[in-house]
Every structure is written in C-alpha cells, then in structure tokens.
C-alpha cells in the first residue's frame, strides 16, 4: 500500500509518496492551495491518482513537544482531510523536517534557487520516511 505524506506550510504544501511496500518515501509534488477546500480537493486527487491507502500529515510541534499555532492549524487541516477522505489520516511529529530537507538538498548539490522550489516536497519525504522507519502502521 502506498502512503501519501504532507508537509503543510502557510503558502505551499509539499507531498511525498511511498513505494508500494511502504519502505521508501520520494518527493511527489508541491501544491499551492487557496484555502482549506482547495487543499482537501488537491489531496483527494493525489490520493486517488496514486492509490494511496493512508495520508500522513506533518505536525510541527514545538521543541518541548507542545502544540503551537502551526501545529493547531495542521491538526485542523488533518481533521478536514479525515472528514473528506476514505483513507486514514494520521498526524506525525515533523520537528526539524525542513532543516533536514534543506541539508539533504544542499548535500545533493542542489543550488539555493532550485532548493526553494523543492524544499516542501523534500520535507514531506523526510516526514513520510520518518513515519515509515518508525514501523508505524501501513
């Protein structure tokens, strides 16, 4: 079963997809939804197009594990996705995923200008890979 991972930003949403065996996450797309309805519709299309059986939403917790404003927004988006999608939607701790994605892109030799356009997808892949590596349910 394939799993779709999401990194929800204020303006952009990065998406990543696992392989069918649920072992490897790859960047998939960058979305620029205009509001919650647009986000739900775009994610529903990705789920259908890629036959995803689960969606993992990155939850940007604070360093001490508490939920700040961004985490509350991510939880609200996850709740909207749960209502609209026929597949399970889970929240996953994404602390430092953007920093790790940035470091990976830099190490791969991706220039600063190109990194900006790929950062959200790479962060989604980091979140999803963390979920897969933890042995979370497929």
What strands lie across the sheet with 2-8, from one edge to the other? 25-31, 13-18, 2-8, 52-59, 89-93
pLDDT computed for residue 118 by the predictor:
67
Task: State phi, psi for 115 to the nearest 5 degrees.
Answer: -60, -40
Tokens of 42: 């775009």
- Average pLDDT for residues 72-78, to the nearest whole number? 95
pLDDT computed for residue 107 by the predictor:
63
How high is the mean pLDDT of the chain? 87
Confidence of residue 135 (pLDDT cuts 50, 70, 90): confident
Residue 1 has pLDDT above 80, yes or no: yes
Confidence of residue 65 (pLDDT cuts 50, 70, 90): confident
Confidence of residue 120 (pLDDT cuts 50, 70, 90): confident
The percent helix, strand, coil of the chain (3-state, each to 5) is: 45, 25, 30
Tokens of 33: 């939804």
Bridge-partner residues for 92, per DSSP? 58
Q: Which domains does the chain have, with CATH numbers?
A: 2-133 (3.30.420.140)
Cα–Cα distance, 66 to 45 (Å, whole number): 32
pLDDT computed for residue 138 by the predictor:
58
- Average pLDDT for residues 67-93, to the nearest whole number? 95
Is 92 strand, coil or helix?
strand
pLDDT computed for residue 30 by the predictor:
92
Residue 18 has pLDDT above 90, yes or no: yes
Q: Could you tell me which residues come within 8 angstroms of residue 75 by beta carbon, excluding any fewer than 6 positions away?
A: 59, 67, 91
């Amino acid at each position: 079963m394939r799993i779709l991972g999401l990194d929800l930003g204020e303006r952009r949403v990065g998406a990543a997809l696992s392989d069918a065996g649920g072992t490897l996450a790859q960047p998939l797309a960058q979305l620029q939804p205009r509001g919650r309805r647009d986000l739900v519709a775009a994610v529903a299309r990705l789920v259908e197009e890629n036959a995803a059986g689960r969606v993992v939403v990155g939850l940007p917790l604070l360093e001490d594990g508490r939920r700040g404003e961004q985490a509350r927004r991510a939880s609200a988006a996850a709740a909207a996705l749960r209502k609209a999608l026929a597949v399970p939607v889970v929240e996953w701790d994404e602390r430092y995923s953007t920093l790790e994605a940035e470091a990976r892109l830099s190490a791969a030799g991706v220039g600063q200008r190109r990194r900006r356009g790929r950062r959200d997808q790479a962060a989604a892949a980091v979140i999803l890979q963390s979920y897969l590596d933890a042995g979370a349910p497929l």
